Copies of this chain bind each other. A is one copy, B any other.
Amino acid sequence: MSARIPVAVLAATGSVGQRFIQLLADHPWFEVVAITASDRSVGKSYAEACHWILPTPIPAAVQGMVLQPTDPASAPAPLVFSALPADAARNVEPEFARAGAWVCSNASAYRMAQDVPILMPEVNPQHLDILSIQQSNRGWSGGILTNSNCTSAGMTVALKALQDAFGLRRVFAVSMQAISGAGYPGVASMDILDNIIPFIGGEEEKVETEPLKMLGRFDGNAILPADFTISAHTNRVAVQDGHIVCLSVELAQPASPQQAAEALAAYQAPVTSRDLPSAPQPVIQVRSEPDRPQPRLDRMAGAGMTTVVGRIRPDKLFTLRLVVSSHNTIRGAAGGSIYNAELLHRQGWVKP
């Protein structure tokens, strides 16, 4: 175990930070050696400063670890997981990259930057190669790679399988998103109990652009976004974890529900990403019951990394309708970042 790569977790006490701590607890390759928080918590132990909201205990190795300021000198590590809010990430993540660290970020700050990939190893591992350009552009010895917002994650996996098999033209996406996606304390209980909030600030814009970048082509110089169009409605509902997206898709070639189900079920991660520790097993689970997927029942499929698809049926306007479920703080956040880091390490970018 002494050979594990030391990693730091930035903003370790928040909702996504806690998922990092939980998922990294017994990681075969990575070992948490530094954790950071905002000024108010620096100097306290993790157990003391953190209002832990997960149903498993705080990992023993982290309980007594002291929270550091969020800068490369205080949290030195070759690999850094960032659960920072976008504003803080914008300033802080480049400092770590400049200091030689690889920053696997959940923040939206750099997702749409030209030389920064939004990575899903089961979808677009080849986008990792743009990191050379990033290092060269910015003079960094490390770098930044991001994962998408939590809603885009699951639907992008499903769209990738359909894109490969049939091509994509137009996509309607309506999400019903869990409260954990808003962080902690996040959504006030009075706002969501017996209610729906049909609005999540900035989310529709992300859902309409991030999948296109992930499903685009890296031509050696730049990532060219995929040339289909997404229209999104995003909603907050009273679900603890797990996002549902209703999709209506217009395909480039005709496909029956059965053909689509087969393409989705057969989809595999590219070989380089397939057997990484956090790789979803399977990447996509197709359910045939009329009323699945459901967040409570399906969010933990494949330890929270699998995308679950169901209700594949014809659409009166486009080609097909389907429903996608994905765990928003595992596949859509911390788990996705860790999977990204595993690919980064597998491909030799991380120098411990």
Tell me which of B172, B180, B191, B246 contacts A198 (CB under 8 A).
Answer: B246
A68-76, A267-275, A288-296: which lies at the interface = A288-296
Question: Closest CB of chain B to A240's CB: distance in Å?
Answer: 5
Contact bitstring A221-232, B, C-beta under 8 A = 1, else 0: 000000001110
Which residues from chain B contact A185 at a C-beta distance below 8 Å? 185, 188, 190-191
Which residues from chain B contact A246 at a C-beta distance below 8 Å? 174, 198, 233, 235
Which residues from chain B contact A310 at a C-beta distance below 8 Å? 198
User: Which of the listed residues A184, A187, A300, A316 has the most CB atoms from chain B within 10 Å of its own CB?
Assistant: A316
Tell me which of B54, B238, B317 contacts A194 (CB under 8 A).
Answer: B238
Copy tally for this chain in the complex stands at: 4
Tell me which of B189, B194, B244, B323 contacts A188 (CB under 8 A).
Answer: B189
Question: Closest CB of chain B to A18's CB: distance in Å?
Answer: 11
Q: Does A297 contact B (CB under 8 A)?
A: yes
Which residues from chain B contact A199 at a C-beta distance below 8 Å? 290-291, 311
Which residues from chain B contact A55 at a C-beta distance below 8 Å? 296-300
Contact bitstring A104-148, B, C-beta under 8 A = 1, else 0: 000000000000000000000000000000000000000000000
A246–B232 alpha-carbon span in the complex (Å): 10
A321–B230 alpha-carbon span in the complex (Å): 13
Q: Are A198 and B323 in contact (CB under 8 A)?
A: yes
Q: Does A61 contact B (CB under 8 A)?
A: no
Q: Are B294 and A195 in contact (CB under 8 A)?
A: yes
Question: Closest CB of chain B to A122's CB: distance in Å?
Answer: 21
Question: Closest CB of chain B to A331's CB: distance in Å?
Answer: 15
Do A231 and B248 contact each other (CB < 8 Å), given the known contacts A55-B300, A185-B188?
Answer: yes
Contact bitstring A309-331, B, C-beta under 8 A = 1, else 0: 01100011110010100000000
A184–B70 alpha-carbon span in the complex (Å): 31
Do A195 and B248 contact each other (CB < 8 Å), given the known contacts A184-B190, A190-B180, A229-B317?
Answer: no
Which residues from chain B contact A88 at a C-beta distance below 8 Å? none
Leading 10 A-B pairs by shortest Cβ distance: A185-B188, A195-B296, A199-B291, A174-B174, A233-B246, A189-B189, A231-B316, A231-B317, A187-B189, A194-B194
Query: Could you list 11 further interchain pairs (A-B, Cβ under 8 angstroms) beyond the known A55-B298, A180-B190, A185-B188?
Result: A174-B246, A185-B191, A188-B189, A189-B191, A193-B193, A193-B240, A196-B294, A197-B291, A198-B291, A198-B292, A235-B244
